[in-house]
Amino acid sequence: MSLDRFKERFAGTASYLRNPFAGHKAVNVLIITLITLFILVNVVLGIYWSREPDMLNVRQEAAQKAQQLNREVVPGFTTTTTAIRIGETLLDKPGGYLRNDVMPPSVLLDNMPNWELGALIQLRDFTRALRKEFSRSQSQSREDADLAIAEPQFNFDSNSWALPSSEGEYRRGIKRLDNYLQRLSDPSDPAQFYSRADNLTDWLKDVETRLGSLSQRLSASVGKARLNTDLAGDAEAVQSTPSESEVVVKTPWYKIDDIFYEARGTSWALLALLSAVEVDFADVLEKKNARVSLRQIIRELRETQEPLGSPIILNGDGFGMLANHSLVMANYISRANAAIIDLRRLLEQG
């Protein structure tokens, strides 16, 4: 081989190694097009899957379920149907259950997964109350067999992708709730739902603690120093380890939107459950003259579901120029929580 021929081949090989696709412009264009299309599809799906579900019409849902089962709407039918629909919404909304996903675009999302967590926590609290309180006449009575399985199913790890998956466990819990619902409306079955003031107040206590915690976490979007009141009101109270008399509470900036959407999901589920309570506990509320108090709570929670007018969660400081969405949400949550405390006292003493 001549020297010139060797130099020519060497130069061609070196050029190929520097840019192996230099002579394949069509391949380059195809790869860029596919990558762009992949990103575009994921962005569109991410936006679509992040849309929050509509509020549930609990009366309509109960009527449709009763017609489907050819049963009467008995006490407990509306609240149980609502719990089932909350679970089904978590699993069957656009994109399905996203919190445990490991593939894009859902693995890159955080707003909807935190919304799901808020709704799931309320579903867990209610099914626990359904098992422990609503379905039992007294502390020594037997618990319902279906509810004894349904309640722990919803307490399964919310981030489990497989072996088993969160969806599979929650689906099993929904099936058991559906079994209980069918037996509840069957006159020949011993399944019961007791609409009593004491049962309702026990569940409302759990709701209070959840909303109180959410309100504090939302308010901590702006760091503020507060006095430590952990032992206030009891001169004999002690705690495990000493703590500072003044503490600074502030939510990390990257968790502000997480807490906000958890509060949105919590309020969505709680709004549906309280609307169902208004149906199933109608006689109790009427006797205690507490119906208007419950409706006020529902009104406050409905405000938390107003459409968000900003593409991001703003975190303005105090009376600054920018809004603070967390503080606005904390206001509605706190007002609803205060009204729940008043409602519980009215049920206990009224």
Instruction: Report pLDDT digits (tens) over 130-148.
Output: 999 999 987 667 889 999 9
What was the pLDDT predicted at 247? 65
What is the chain's mean pLDDT, rounded? 87
- Pair 97, 170: CB distance under 8 Å: yes
C-alpha distances in angstroms, 262 versus 7, 9, 34? 67, 64, 35
Q: Is the pLDDT of residue 12 over 70?
A: no
d(CA 153, CA 155): 5
For 243-270, what is each residue's pLDDT tens digit? 666 666 778 888 899 999 999 999 999 9
Residue 166 has pLDDT above 80, yes or no: yes
Q: Do you find a cis peptide bond into 105, omega within 30 degrees of 0?
A: yes
pLDDT of residue 6: 46
Written as one string, the DSSP assignment of 9-40 is HHHHHHHHHH-TTTT-HHHHHHHHHHHHHHHH
In the block, tokens 């976490």 appear at 217
Q: Is 199 a residue whose pLDDT tops 50?
A: yes
In the predicted model, is pLDDT for residue 175 greater than 50? yes
Of 104, 11, 76, nearest in space to 283 by CA: 76
* pLDDT 10s digits, 50-91: 999 999 999 999 999 999 999 999 999 999 999 999 999 999
pLDDT of amino acid 57: 96
d(CA 329, CA 263): 8
Tokens (6 digits) for 76: 């407990």
Output the six-digit token pair for 312.
């991001």
Under 8 Å between Cβ of 326 and 259: yes
List, for residues 291-344, the tens digit of each pLDDT value.
999 999 999 999 999 998 888 888 877 667 788 899 999 999 999 999 999 999
Q: What is the mean pLDDT of residues 203-212?
A: 95
Helices 197-219 and 111-129 cross at an angle (nearest 10°) of: 160
Burial 160-186 (b: 16+ CB within 10 A, else e): eeeeeebbebbbbbbbbbbbbbbbbbe
Whether the Cβ atoms of residue 291 and residue 242 lie closer than 8 Å to each other: no
Residue 228 or 159, more confident: 159
Exposure string over 32-71, b if 16+ CB within 10 A, otherwise e: eeeeeeeeeeeeebbeebbebbeebebbebbeebbeeeeb
- Reply yes or no on whether the pLDDT at 11 is more than 60: no
Q: Which helix H or strand E contains 200, and what residues bound it?
A: helix 197-219
Q: Where are the beta strands (DSSP E) in 156-269?
A: 224-227, 246-249
Mean pLDDT computed over 280-291? 93
Check residues 163 and 226 and name the one with the higher pLDDT: 163
pLDDT in tens, 20-48: 545 567 778 888 889 999 999 999 999 99
Does the structure show a pLDDT above 60 at 149? yes
